[in-house]
């Protein structure tokens, strides 16, 4: 099935094989800097399972709603999460499958380090 795109949009792909230029390296470094904070990484991991409210995420990461809101604001400004309003609640979700795969693979790799399990082929 072919994806429909607007006049100014580029069709999304799973693989981007071209060597990264300075702009892409700068954006990539910024993304990794957002993942470098443990609470933000945990929030993103929870969002790989679907959208959630600030309250739900605060309960899951055992942090205050204020702290979670501040982390989510940074992630939103970085373009890593989206927010939608449903009634009185705002639901946060990951922006795209690349980020979900990045978070899960990073934590899978960390699991190998923590458990001493060897690398995959």
Task: Specify the pLDDT at position 119.
Answer: 82
Domain annotation for the chain: domains and CATH numbers: 31-111 (1.10.10.10)
* Distance in angstroms (rounded) separating the CA atoms of residues 69 and 73: 6
Contacts of 117 (CB under 8 A, 6+ apart): 111
- Chain position carrying tokens 């989206």: 82
Sequential pLDDT tens for the chain (121 residues)? 344 445 566 676 777 788 999 999 999 999 999 999 999 999 999 999 999 999 999 999 999 999 999 999 999 999 999 999 989 999 999 998 999 999 999 999 999 999 999 888 7
CA separation, residue 60 to residues 18, 29, 48, 57 (Å): 38, 27, 13, 5
């Amino acid at each position: 099935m072919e994806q429909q795109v607007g006049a100014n949009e580029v069709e999304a792909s799973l693989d981007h094989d071209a060597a990264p230029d300075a702009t892409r390296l700068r954006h990539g470094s910024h993304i990794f800097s957002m993942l470098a904070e443990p609470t933000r990484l945990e929030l993103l991991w929870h969002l790989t399972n679907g959208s959630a409210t600030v309250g739900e995420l605060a309960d899951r990461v055992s942090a205050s709603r204020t702290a979670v809101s501040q982390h989510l604001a940074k992630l939103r400004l970085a373009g890593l999460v989206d927010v939608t309003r449903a009634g009185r609640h705002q639901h946060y979700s990951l922006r795209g499958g690349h980020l979900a795969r990045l978070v899960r693979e990073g934590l899978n790799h960390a699991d190998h380090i923590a458990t001493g399990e060897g690398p995959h082929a």
